[in-house]
Structure 1
Amino acid sequence: MLLARSRFYFNGNLAVLQAKTTAAKAASKASALPALTLSRKVASVSRGGVLGALTRASAPKLDKTRQFSTLSALYQRSNVHVIKPRETDPNEDAPRKWPVNSSKWAGYWLIASAVSVFGIVVLGGLTRLTESGLSITEWKPVTGSLPPMSEADWIEEFDKYKNSPEFKLLNSNITLSEFKFIFWMEWAHRLWGRFIGLTFVLPAVYFVARKRVSPNIAGRLGVISVLLGLQGAIGWWMVKSGLDNKFMETDNAHPRVSPYRLATHLGAAFVLYWAMLSTGLQVLRESRWIANPSTAVADFAKLNNPVLKPFQRYTTLFCGLVFLTAMSGAFVAGLDAGMIYNTFPWMGEGIVPPKSELMDPLFAVKADGSDLWWRNIFENPVTVQFDHRVLATTTFCASFALLLMSNRFKPFLPRKAFLACHTIMGIAMVQVTLGISTLLYLVPTPLAAAHQAGALALLSAAAYLGAQLKRPRVPFQNIVSRLHNASVVKSGFEEVAKNQYKRKTTKLPGSL
């Protein structure tokens, strides 16, 4: 009996020693992790302690005589403060404070808004290809949302269109039924724009007022909302250029909107789409990191690696190149430059057209010819098409170079970024095929619309890659690192509790 009791006390002391060692290892591992200092500017960090809650939860499982000797010292020395983990939004307990991370529902809403912008860009391309953009000669942001409700209303709208240069010079034989088709195209495009404005601004006000988004995201929502309002004004500014009576004073004039204003309108749409998509991806990525801090810490190590900086810079330049190529396509569309030189890769007798066609003196307005070069770049259909060919070829080669670089940087890239590089290459191949086919077949509407959608799809893939490679904000890294540290310490506490429980349930030798 004496030997059995001695063995019991020896096993008990051994369990306590193991518990101390486990807790010490957990504390050492937590202190060795990066980003342990929390920025004082972060307002949503709970100044309570998750570790205190964890200790209280683990305490009933521990022998009270051993609790303070094994755990209390570690807890008292730890000053790690993190957001209290919850199954729902971690910011619900502090609605009056700006959170560090945004609600995931804001991310889903931003992605849905981006999809809606994608749709209106495609519809806008169809409106231009069917020459429907000048069918509505007035801009009524509120009352214009209602279409003609009676035959008299349709006749009134048709009479307004008859006063436009497009009707007088191009569509003088158009019937009322044909007018209705082009009217519905332009009306649907404008109505969709109003829908996007309402479905973005109203939820944005809610998320900001309820402080469900971080200050950084709230600022972005404000900028996007302002740009949405400007986009409507830019659209009318573009349409108004096609209603100018100056076309009536020029021989053989073709009423069309200004290519500069068309490029501005399309460029603003692309910027809106990119802003919504990239912001939504950032919000969703931060939500996933909050839910899984251990994975987030591993991602931070990759994204903060200096080896990855050249790849990140190249990705930024690639996104700019994709946008620039799309804007050159807007000038091709605005000048109908796709209707000339319908061969590829040749332009006439060579790959490069004659210099006299590229720099035609007829496009210079000033007497000294100082505006010759830039007016030919933006107003000469031959030069505009050649520029677009060069930029498109450069973008395709840059996509291939991006693919090769991704294979080289594969050990350092996040998996989603590596897959995005392959997706970009695939979309680029499809886009080049669509562009050449559109040119060879004299710009048929389905191919031209698909080509415009392909440009936005390529920008989407580039924006996704950029979002995956973007380094998170330092305050957010601190938050996630502290959540990870707390989970490490919690696992140490649970192991201690498990060992204590096993010791208590161990039966004495010879006992019943």
Structure 2
Amino acid sequence: MSSKRSIFQEVSEPEAKPQTATTGMIDRGRGGARKAIRAWLFVLFALVVAMIVVGGLTRLTDSGLSITEWRPVTGAIPPMNEVEWQQEFDKYKQIDQWQIHNQWMELADFKSIYWWEWGHRQLGRVIGLVWAVGFFGFLLARKIPTGWTGRLILPGALGGAQGAIGWWMVSSGVTQGEGMTSVASYRLATHLGLAFVILGLIAWYGFLLGRQERDLMQARRAKEAKIFGLSTGLLHFAFLQILLGALVAGIDAGRSYTDWPLMGGQVIPPNPLMIEPIWKNFFENPGLVQFVHRICGYLLLGFGVVVWLRGRASAHGATRFAFNAVFAGLIVQIALGVITVLYAAPWQAAILHQLMAVVLWVLILRARFLASYPIATSIKDH
């Protein structure tokens, strides 16, 4: 049935067609290949997690100084015959670690630690290649969403810096006549800290790309600022604890005192300031370094309870669940830390403790993201 004509409309004039509302203007021209880029980022995320685990195992097996040179390109090819293997072994014999600790090693023993370090470096090259292929592929195909080009360059740039920092770390232990048998702990902390920064950046980008621009803009209006601020503080606090954990690992401080909650039968370990100058104790005194890591863990747990209680008061179900997950992860991580200490840091417990730090880091990021971009729920969902 046709609609009624206006009395002023000419009989010969065609009937106007009703206009339909145009939707999706915010995302038009901005979307790009969001799903494909997100999948690529998840691959990078998994590779960085693997890199952190392999790096931890490389440290736990004392393999990190087995390759005494930094050759970003030619170093990708391992020794191919016995002559080349012997040449690499001879280079290792020149450094203090072999002279002081590992003179018992034969070539077969050296090969086992060499492969750990070579695998760690090779994985870094793979990550760089995956980033480069993905980024330039999306760039040339013009599939990068508006405003995302600079963001996607950043993980690659930080990854390049990470390679240089890795060698800066290793070079601190590749010494002759200085008595160094491991890398400097503060350089190890810098290396691990940057790995967590890269991991967090990739995860945050993945969260953003998982929702459309219009959805994010609407959700931003419902931002829960107080919870967001608290979760940001928890994120920074957890990052500090990760760095302190790296200091513990760098000097094997986790094996210095294996009782809990006391240390050597005392609240404060014996001789906490025995090294001169005093500031060096916070980096090189195993008892004090472990003590600081423990105290920071207790404080992190206390602050985590405050953040969890505030997060439980969120008006959004997904946000509440995210903060519950953070608190559960925090409890598990504290328990793993205690177990690692009580059993003198066996490699199985130590690497699980490090991997759980990754899980907790991402859980905090997820909760923080949902505090900033909450997922709306209807009344019937409560």
Question: 1:281: Cα distance to partner?
Answer: 1.3
Counterpart of 1:326 in structure 2 is 242
Question: 1:71-470 maps to which residues of 2 (within 5 A)?
Answer: 75=19, 82-83=24-25, 91=29, 99=30, 103-247=34-178, 253=179, 255-286=181-212, 299-303=219-223, 308-353=224-269, 357-360=271-274, 362-364=275-277, 372=278, 374-409=279-314, 412-413=315-316, 415-470=317-372
Secondary structure of 2:67's partner? Answer: coil
Counterpart of 2:380 in structure 1 is none
Secondary structure of 1:358's partner? Answer: coil
CA distance in 1 between partners of 2:99 and 2:175 (Å): 12
Question: 1:390: Cα distance to partner?
Answer: 1.1
**Structure 2 CA distance for partners of 1:72 and 1:346, relative to 1, 3 Å:** farther
CA offset digits 1:259-308 (Å, max 9, x no partner): 1111111111111111111111111123xx66xx6xx68745532xxxx2
CA distance in 1 between partners of 2:348 and 2:331 (Å): 18
CA offset digits 1:402-438 (Å, max 9, x no partner): 22212222xx23x322211111112112111111111
Question: 1:468: Cα distance to partner?
Answer: 2.0
Matched to 1:232, the amino acid is: G
Question: 1:190: Cα distance to partner?
Answer: 0.6
Would you say the 8 A contact 2:186–2:247 is kept in 1? yes
Structure index of larger Rg = 1
Matched to 1:279, the amino acid is: Y
Matched to 1:63, the amino acid is: S
Secondary structure of 2:305's partner? Answer: helix
Would you say the 8 A contact 1:101–1:283 is kept in 2? no
Secondary structure of 2:210's partner? Answer: helix
CA distance in 2 between partners of 1:74 and 1:363 (Å): 84
Secondary structure of 1:204's partner? Answer: helix
| Number of residue pairs the alignment of both structures matches | 368
Would you say the 8 A contact 1:399–1:425 is kept in 2? yes
CA offset digits 1:367-400 (Å, max 9, x no partner): xxxxx3x332233222211110011112222222
CA distance in 2 between partners of 1:196 and 1:84 (Å): 33
Unaligned stretches of 5+ residues in structure 2: 10-14, 375-382
**Structure 2 CA distance for partners of 1:72 and 1:324, relative to 1, 3 Å:** farther
CA distance in 1 between partners of 2:336 and 2:264 (Å): 21
Matched to 2:257, the amino acid is: Y
CA distance in 2 between partners of 1:385 and 1:217 (Å): 42
CA offset digits 1:229-269 (Å, max 9, x no partner): 1111111111111012242xxxxx45110111111111111
Identity of aligned residues (%): 34
Identify the range of structure 1 (275-284 vs 155-164) with the bigger mean alpha-carbon deviation: 155-164
Secondary structure of 1:83's partner? Answer: coil
Question: 1:101: Cα distance to partner?
Answer: 6.5
Would you say the 8 A contact 1:111–1:281 is kept in 2? no
The runs of at least 4 consecutive aligned structure 1 residues that moved more than 4 Å come to 64-69, 71-76
Would you say the 8 A contact 1:165–1:244 is kept in 2? yes
Question: 1:58-69 maps to which residues of 2 (within 5 A)?
Answer: 63=2, 65=4
Would you say the 8 A contact 1:363–1:380 is kept in 2? no
Which structure carries more relative contact order (alpha carbon 8 Å, separation 6+)? 1
Matched to 2:304, the amino acid is: S
CA distance in 1 between partners of 2:16 and 2:38 (Å): 41
Matched to 1:454, the amino acid is: M
CA distance in 2 between partners of 1:230 and 1:215 (Å): 26
CA distance in 2 between partners of 1:324 and 1:240 (Å): 24
Question: 1:352: Cα distance to partner?
Answer: 2.5
What is the RMSD of the two structures over their aligned residues, measured on CA atoms? Answer: 2.7
CA offset digits 1:188-217 (Å, max 9, x no partner): 101000000010122112223433233432
CA distance in 1 between partners of 2:312 and 2:170 (Å): 47
Would you say the 8 A contact 1:117–1:269 is kept in 2? yes
Matched to 1:141, the amino acid is: P
